[in-house]
């Protein structure tokens, strides 16, 4: 075997970061231990130590291996048979590299679970088949949704104790789906397993013959996480300025999102000075382009003042800039958070002083309802208004996880007090107090629907020189939006129930759907010519650019109006459009 080819193949495998969570004693550590054991990823000396530890601290009975002890290494964890701190395990298969975070299940360690989830691409939630969906299961599912983890595998464990009951499995699946219907998790999969017996972990033994899906390892190896990465918004927080000699001045850091190429025009924040990328330097030499999450040194064509803590972005793709933001916060401190409290804010490699201007509400993890409170205690989730001494350069967390996340640090004890995710502000025109009150007592507002669905309402109109290609494209567009997790509805002026309706009537229906938080795709004989005041209007014209109406927001040539073009437009509308 060519060792260089082997090492190159191993180096270029994709990496999947996986979180395991769920209620206490659902079998998270056992599952990961079994996964490592069945994958032949435990060395002989480790296996020998595991057998000894199983005899001393095992909970599986005499002579049996307690796979959980591979993860639970703290003395207190082994004595109590629980997980306290997040344990990370690194392993590889012929198809992919993995970093798995084993998170504690106890409510008092919810903050540890949130820490493990902050970098995860996918999550495995374990449910004890005997007990079903518990409060802590819901809490962890809510945090998975809150942290925008798009892929969730629900592993119903300990099926061996229920004789692998198909009826019980489907009952738990229905119960969990009912709860997560209120959350924004696009991809949820269910799998019946027995971690202790190995059923459906790395192979199928036939005990769940009624289950026709892939076993857990195959699902992890084939999971497509490309939709979780943001390659559009280039963000480069500068960590240090490198000047080894008078002829070179570079800016070192990690690309947190996006792609940069040699010759790209950039903007330095907060100075707003512009330049172009001269060279991209890495330990492996000069590159023509670099992307997240690579660490590089950028040399610019012009000598402009950039210091540690500044940010380099692409021209035309500027982040939001403000010293007042609204965010959801997972509280991690024993000391409750109150309005007026001051903290050190760490965001995008920069530290600044901040103050909690307002605690808007706490969120009940069981009902997902908001409650007005005076303080936010340990392990609770709330919404706040944060004011900072210097402006933040940020993206909304739903669009860019790295650009929308921050932590709050207690200035006295220096502990991490809270983890925040920046969200769009509540609608303008009402005070924060009124908005918080309305979110509890009045009809559901549009911004609340946007938070729940992960997008706001849209009115998308499709027309063209030939109506049949326009109709086909509109259907493809709605299908792609639906695939991305959007709440959609198709409208066609020639469909049953709408035949003979005027464009204005179709637009009225689309407007009502938009207010309800739905992204409607309407086929019209021509694009609306009158300016529309409602928010979220997007008009697509299929045909020649010279014949397109002035009202068109996007012109797509007929020959390009296929599924690929519809998929790209759907992603623009759902992810990149300022919803």
Spatial distance between the Cα atoms of 561 and 557, rounded to a whole number of angstroms:
6
> What pLDDT score was predicted for residue 68?
63
> What pLDDT score was predicted for residue 56?
61
> What pLDDT score was predicted for residue 164?
94
Span 526-548, pLDDT tens digits: 877 654 444 578 888 888 777 77
Report which secondary-structure segment, H or E, holds 390.
strand 381-394
pTM above the 0.75 mark?
no
- Four-point Cα dihedral 376, 445, 460, 507, nearest 10: 180
Spatial distance between the Cα atoms of 252 and 299, rounded to a whole number of angstroms:
9
DSSP 234-280: -EEE--EEEEEETTEEEEEEE--BSEEETT-EEEEETTTEEEEEEEE
Span 413-461, pLDDT tens digits: 999 999 999 988 764 434 444 344 334 444 666 666 776 677 778 889 9
Report which secondary-structure segment, H or E, holds 481.
helix 467-483
In the predicted model, residues of the chain with pLDDT beneath 70 are 1, 6-11, 41, 43-47, 50-85, 105-109, 227, 365-367, 426-448, 451-452, 494-502, 529-535, 574-579
H-state helical runs in 294-353: none
> What pLDDT score was predicted for residue 236?
95
**What Rg value do the Cα atoms of the chain yield, rounded?**
26
> What pLDDT score was predicted for residue 63?
55
Closest CA to 236 of 480, 116, 397, 403: 403
């Amino acid at each position: 075997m060519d060792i260089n080819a082997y090492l190159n193949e191993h180096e270029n495998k994709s990496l999947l970061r996986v979180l395991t969570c769920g209620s206490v004693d659902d079998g998270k550590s056992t599952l990961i231990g079994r996964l490592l054991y069945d994958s032949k990823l435990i060395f002989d000396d480790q296996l020998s130590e595991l057998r000894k530890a199983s005899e001393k601290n095992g909970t599986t009975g005499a002579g049996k291996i307690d796979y959980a002890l591979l993860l639970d290494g703290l003395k207190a964890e082994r004595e109590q048979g629980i997980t306290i701190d997040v344990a990370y395990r690194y392993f590889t298969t012929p198809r992919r590299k993995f970093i798995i975070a084993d998170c504690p299940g106890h409510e008092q360690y919810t903050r540890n679970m949130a820490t493990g989830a902050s970098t995860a691409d996918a999550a495995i939630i374990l449910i004890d088949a005997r007990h079903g969906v518990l409060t802590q299961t819901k809490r962890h599912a809510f945090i998975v949704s809150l942290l925008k983890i798009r892929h969730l595998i629900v592993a119903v464990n300990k099926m061996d104790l229920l004789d692998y009951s198909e009826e019980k499995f489907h009952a738990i699946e229905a119960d969990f789906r009912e709860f997560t219907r209120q959350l924004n998790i696009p991809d949820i999969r269910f799998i019946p397993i027995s971690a202790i017996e190995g059923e459906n972990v790395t192979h199928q033994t036939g005990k769940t013959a009624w289950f026709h899906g892939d076993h857990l390892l195959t699902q992890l190896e084939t999971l497509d996480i490309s939709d979780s990465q943001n390659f559009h918004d280039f963000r480069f927080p500068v960590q240090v300025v490198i000047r080894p000699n008078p002829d070179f001045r570079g800016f070192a850091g990690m690309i947190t999102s996006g792609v940069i190429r040699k010759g790209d025009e950039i903007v330095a924040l907060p100075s707003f000075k512009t330049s172009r990328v001269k060279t991209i330097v890495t330990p492996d030499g000069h590159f023509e382009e670099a992307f997240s999450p690579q660490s590089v040194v950028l040399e610019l064509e012009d000598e402009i003042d950039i210091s540690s803590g500044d940010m380099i972005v692409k021209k035309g793709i500027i982040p939001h800039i403000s010293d007042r933001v609204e965010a959801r916060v997972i509280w991690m401190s024993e000391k409750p958070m109150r309005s007026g409290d001051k903290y050190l804010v760490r965001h995008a490699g920069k530290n600044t002083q901040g103050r909690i201007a307002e605690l808007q509400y706490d969120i009940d993890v069981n009902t997902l309802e908001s409650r007005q409170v005076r303080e936010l205690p340990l392990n609770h989730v709330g919404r706040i208004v944060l004011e900072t001494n210097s402006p933040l350069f940020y993206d909304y967390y739903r669009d860019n996880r790295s650009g929308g996340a921050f932590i709050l640090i207690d200035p006295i004890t220096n502990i991490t007090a809270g983890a925040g995710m920046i969200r769009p502000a509540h609608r303008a025109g009402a005070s924060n107090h009124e908005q918080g009150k309305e979110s509890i007592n009045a009809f559901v507002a549009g911004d609340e629907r946007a938070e729940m669905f992960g997008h706001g309402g849209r009115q998308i109109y499709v027309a063209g020189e030939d109506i049949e290609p326009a109709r086909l494209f509109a259907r493809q567009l709605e299908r792609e939006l639906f695939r991305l997790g959007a709440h959609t509805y198709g409208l066609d002026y020639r469909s049953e129930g709408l035949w003979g309706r005027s464009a204005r009537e179709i637009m009225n229906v689309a407007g009502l759907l938009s207010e309800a938080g739905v992204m409607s795709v309407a086929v019209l004989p021509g694009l609306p010519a009158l300016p529309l005041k409602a928010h979220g209007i997007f008009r697509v014209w299929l045909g020649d650019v010279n014949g397109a109406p002035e009202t068109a927001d996007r012109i797509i040539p007929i020959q390009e109006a296929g599924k690929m073009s519809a998929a790209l437009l759907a992603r623009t509308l759902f992810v990149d459009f300022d919803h």
